[in-house]
Amino acid sequence: MTDNDLYVACIDLRGLGCLVVGAGPVGTEKVEGLLTSGAVVHVVAPEATNRIGELASSGVISWSRREYRAADLNGCMLVIAATSTPSVNEAVHADATRHSMLVNVADVPHLCNLMLPAIAREGPIAVAISTAGASPALAQRMKREAANMFGAAYAELATILEALRPWAKATLPTYADRKAFFDSIVDGDPDPITLLRTGQHKDLDDLIAGAREAALERAFRAAI
């Protein structure tokens, strides 16, 4: 795949069943990523890393210490195959495809309808990087660079903006009014990210207060 025509979406996996077939270092990495997203994880593998054993012993995941069976897909939303045996990975892909499931086969892009991006996380911010399977190493470099570019200040601003949403929804009558309000903060002068990075919280409060006043004035003028 030389062009990236993937449909990019964020999936809420909280409380949903996910299967990982294979429990070596790659499978362990996939399990950790699913747990970060709140998924209910079941691992199938005859052997596993110590980390998988620890997670299973503490009840964080379930682990079936045996070979994969097609029935393991029951109740799962997505499956990740991460074994060192191509025939097993191909069987997982074939079974998942028959059930119209999301499936990722680690390092085999043509057996995936789900690509797992490298993700830089900071508070409510998640920046996903995908090379459509062309180069996981490049995706990891881009993840590191994204983490440096969009760090704590962006996460803090996102939290502040989230706290303003109830006021905006209750006070500003239209989507256009609310969009203009938030745009005036995010693209404000002075720049809110610069203010947070330099600890100028009072100036940010003033920027937000000014945005509130301007939003209320626009709404009032539109109503008369």
- 37 phi, psi to nearest 5 deg: -90, 5
Give residue limits of the domains in the chain: 17-116, 152-223
Query: Mean pLDDT, to the nearest integer, of 28-43?
Result: 96
Q: What is the pLDDT of residue 133?
A: 81
Handedness of CA 209, 210, 215, 216 (dihedral sign): positive
Is residue 220 predicted with pLDDT exceeding 90?
no
User: What is the per-residue pLDDT across 84-131, written as a single tens digit (0 to 9) for each?
Assistant: 999 999 999 999 999 999 999 998 999 999 998 888 999 999 999 988
- For the chain, the straight-line distance linking the first and the last C-alpha, in angstroms and rounded, comes to 56
**Does the domain formed by 17-116 have CATH 3.40.640.10?**
no
pLDDT band at 62 (very low <50, low <70, confident <90, very high): very high
User: What is the per-residue pLDDT across 186-216, written as a single tens digit (0 to 9) for each?
Assistant: 999 999 999 999 999 999 999 999 999 999 9
β-pair partners for 103: 79
d(CA 224, CA 209): 23
What are the C-alpha distances in Å from 38 to residues 17, 32, 64, 83? 10, 10, 20, 23
pLDDT band at 1 (very low <50, low <70, confident <90, very high): very low
pLDDT band at 3 (very low <50, low <70, confident <90, very high): low
Q: What is the pLDDT of residue 204?
A: 98
Instruction: State pTM to two decimals.
Output: 0.79
What are the C-alpha distances in Å from 1 to residues 115, 129, 133, 135, 160? 12, 16, 8, 11, 40
In three-state secondary structure terms, 149 is helix
Q: What is the pLDDT of residue 150?
A: 92
